[in-house]
């Protein structure tokens, strides 16, 4: 699925309006939380889940703790 989305001014903020097709594909609705993550080819938008949030918290903790080691291993 490829959709062109527009950013719109909403009050003092900027919002992204998702069409019905995108909401159906993500299986989300008004009030649900989405997660935006960086990917090698851009960004990824997914429906948020508690398990994913826990995994990301663990990753970020380990990434901070071992950032120098990981940088050396990446060379």
Q: Where are the domains of the chain?
A: 7-74
**Per-residue pLDDT, 7:** 93
Higher pLDDT: 50 or 20? It is: 20
Q: Hey, which CATH number is domain 7-74, 3.30.70, 1.10.1760, 2.60.40, 2.10.260?
A: 2.10.260
What residues have CB less than 8 Å from 37, skipping those under 6 apart? Answer: 43, 44, 46, 56
Q: Is the pLDDT of residue 75 over 90?
A: no
Helix (H) or strand (E) holding 43: strand 42-47
Per residue in 22-66, pLDDT (tens digit) is 899 888 888 888 888 898 999 888 887 777 778 888 888 988 899
């Amino acid at each position: 699925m490829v959709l062109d989305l527009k950013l719109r001014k909403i009050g003092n903020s900027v919002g992204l309006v998702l069409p019905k097709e995108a909401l159906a594909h993500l299986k989300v609705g008004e009030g649900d939380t989405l997660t935006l993550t960086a990917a090698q080819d851009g960004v990824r938008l997914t429906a948020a889940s508690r398990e994913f949030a826990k995994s990301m918290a663990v990753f970020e903790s380990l990434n901070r703790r071992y950032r120098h080691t990981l940088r050396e291993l990446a060379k």
